[in-house]
Chain A
């Protein structure tokens, strides 16, 4: 994971603490290796190079694909793990280099979960299509790792992988964890909120540094897979608190995809959130 990771729990046995940290670390690397699209030795790689042939996946990958499909259904096609090929033309480096409309349109035939045949445990992509579980993987790792440690420790733990966090059980004294929410544009310098968390996940979507600016219009890096273009008027960042990190992450991502209706969407979900 290319971001700082934090694991907090109270324990007085140093050896046990190290064992648990090792456990957490192995689980995080396992998940990263398994679902990273940058590796050449995992199922994602095989699926993305399958050239139209069915690929058999294991149970865990199948579960994640099921979940991705449910999110696609819930979001009415706005959350789509096949949208990653848009990266071929969109580079959000702060410049004004927009891709041509033709280049974007040319990619659309390679995007869309509806074009994928997913019949557990076999997945078949059309040639040229790719999937990317990166939008789920980190939150999934946070929740799993926290549960793994909680099971061993029998007391509270907080996992924070680069701002996506999950608290399971209160701190040892029975007090909740105090979590501050950073302003994404002034990381670590200013907080926009604080919350006490005994059980729950918190996740942030949006990256204030990733955008394009042309003719006075700001293009966010949140891309609509149905058009291939950035979602207009998307918030700069959305932070959500929910039952789990995975749920919080998905809610914040879906909110971003709503564009100028993000706040309305979040209010309808009846969750604690910060929308900038």
Chain B
């Protein structure tokens, strides 16, 4: 499986390059934050989806967490 995943991991390199291009720091005044205020630009833009996903992967994988603290546990299989 890991062998099959490798090409996929390579595919993510352009994403990271894109991400690096995005990382040019510049001061942003309050009135320049129109784009950042959009719903799609929020770190967690769809809490219902991320809540469901966390639950799914918590029950199907050995690791969990990272985004924040708290939230209910479960005995899910």
**Direct chain A–B contact by Cβ atoms under 8 Å:** yes
Q: What's the least CB distance linking A17 to chain B, in Å?
A: 11
Residues of B within 8 A of A28 (CB): 31
Residues of A within 8 A of B37 (CB): 29
Residues of B within 8 A of A5 (CB): 31
Indicate whether A22 reaches chain B with its CB closer than 8 angstroms: yes
Q: How many residues of B contact A (CB 8 A)?
A: 5
Indicate whether B65 reaches chain A with its CB closer than 8 angstroms: no
Indicate whether B30 reaches chain A with its CB closer than 8 angstroms: yes
Indicate whether A67 reaches chain B with its CB closer than 8 angstroms: no
Indicate whether B34 reaches chain A with its CB closer than 8 angstroms: yes
Q: What's the least CB distance linking B31 to chain A, in Å?
A: 5
Residues of A within 8 A of B33 (CB): 25
User: What mask results when residues 25 to 60 of chain B are scored 1 for a CB within 8 Å of chain A, else 0?
Assistant: 000001101100100000000000000000000000
Q: How far is the CA of A5 from the CA of B31 in the complex (A)?
A: 9
> Closest residue to A5 on the B side, CB-wise?
B31
Interface majority SS on A: helix, strand, loop or mixed?
A: helix
Residues of A within 8 A of B31 (CB): 5, 25, 28-29
Residues of A within 8 A of B34 (CB): 29
Residues of B within 8 A of A25 (CB): 30-31, 33
Q: How far is the CA of A243 from the CA of B30 in the complex (A)?
A: 30
Indicate whether A62 reaches chain B with its CB closer than 8 angstroms: no
Q: How far is the CA of A4 from the CA of B34 in the complex (A)?
A: 15
User: What mask results when residues 105 to 144 of chain A are scored 1 for a CB within 8 Å of chain B, else 0?
Assistant: 0000000000000000000000000000000000000000
Q: How far is the CA of A164 from the CA of B2 in the complex (A)?
A: 63
> Closest residue to B37 on the A side, CB-wise?
A29
Indicate whether A21 reaches chain B with its CB closer than 8 angstroms: yes
> Closest residue to A7 on the B side, CB-wise?
B31
Q: What's the least CB distance linking A60 to chain B, in Å?
A: 19
Question: Which A residues between 1 and 21 are near B, CB-CB below 8 angstroms?
Answer: 5, 18, 21
Residues of B within 8 A of A29 (CB): 31, 34, 37
Question: Which A residues between 32 and 76 are near B, CB-CB below 8 angstroms?
Answer: none
Residues of B within 8 A of A22 (CB): 30
Q: How far is the CA of A86 from the CA of B37 in the complex (A)?
A: 33
Q: How far is the CA of A21 from the CA of B30 in the complex (A)?
A: 8
> Closest residue to A1 on the B side, CB-wise?
B31
Q: What's the least CB distance linking A34 to chain B, in Å?
A: 13
Q: What's the least CB distance linking B27 to chain A, in Å?
A: 15
Q: What's the least CB distance linking A148 to chain B, in Å?
A: 15
Q: What's the least CB distance linking B34 to chain A, in Å?
A: 5
Q: How far is the CA of A18 from the CA of B31 in the complex (A)?
A: 11
> Closest residue to A26 on the B side, CB-wise?
B37
> Closest residue to B33 on the A side, CB-wise?
A25
Q: How far is the CA of A22 from the CA of B31 in the complex (A)?
A: 8
> Closest residue to B34 on the A side, CB-wise?
A29
Please, could you name 5 A-B residue pairs with CB atoms under 8 Å apart, sorted by A?
A: A21-B30, A25-B31, A28-B31, A29-B31, A29-B34
- 7 shortest interchain CB distances as A-B pairs: A25-B31, A25-B30, A29-B34, A22-B30, A21-B30, A5-B31, A29-B37
